[in-house]
Amino acid sequence: MLFKQETGKSLEGIGCTVINVNGVAFRHFLTIIKNGFFKKCVVLTDSDAGTKTENRAAALQVDFMDIPHIDIQVTKESTFEKDLVSANMSGVGKELLFEALSVTKPKNGPKLRAATGANDIDVETFFTEIENYKAEFTFRLMLTIEDERQAAEKDKRSSKKLAIPSYISRAFNFIKE
């Protein structure tokens, strides 16, 4: 959804396949790609800062940095969700995040929105609300973005867009090159 928001195209439409390997098989897949499956490959992974696996992403980046068809991008914060919130602490992104949170958590979402008021979103506080609801929140956010896109198209106005974390933007640029 974020790629489509940025480029107007779907990943499938440009022949890109998304494979979720849940972190355990990055090295195995990257070795296959390095040794003869010469298709572009982007790895998006959490930095996992402060966890026992926090050095895994950095080690992958070092081990595969000289392979021109492999790009490994790592979150600035410890997780995708924190990077996404950090990139959207104010403005339109803040609105979209709170809209999705209010549907995901109908009691706590509006309370946090009211408590935040005109201030920027506190990343840790917001993350605490979604930590055990990441899939539901992300799905709701995707629907919120799509609903906004359709409403803007119908009203002939510019769509409100979520800011894309920088590591994801770099991955999109690698895919588009």
Under a CB-based contact definition with an 8 Å cutoff, are residues 167 and 83 in contact?
yes
Between residues 23 and 62, which one has the greater pLDDT?
62
Q: What is the pTM of this model?
A: 0.85
| CB contact at 8 A, 83 and 77 | yes
Rounded Cα distance, 1 and 9, in Å? 9
Query: Which DSSP state fits 14?
Result: G
- Name, in order, each residue with C-beta under 8 angstroms of 123's C-beta and a sequence gap of 6 or more: 77, 82, 85, 86, 89
What pLDDT, on a 0 to 100 scale, did the predictor assign at position 24?
Answer: 61
Determine contact, residues 45/23, Cβ cutoff 8 Å. yes
Domain boundaries, the chain: 1-87+163-177, 89-161
Q: What is the mean pLDDT of residues 137-147?
A: 94
For 74-127, what is each residue's pLDDT tens digit?
888 888 899 999 999 999 999 999 999 999 999 999 999 999 999 999 999 999
Distance CA 29, CA 39 (A): 12
Chain segment 58-73, per-residue pLDDT in tens: 888 888 888 888 888 8
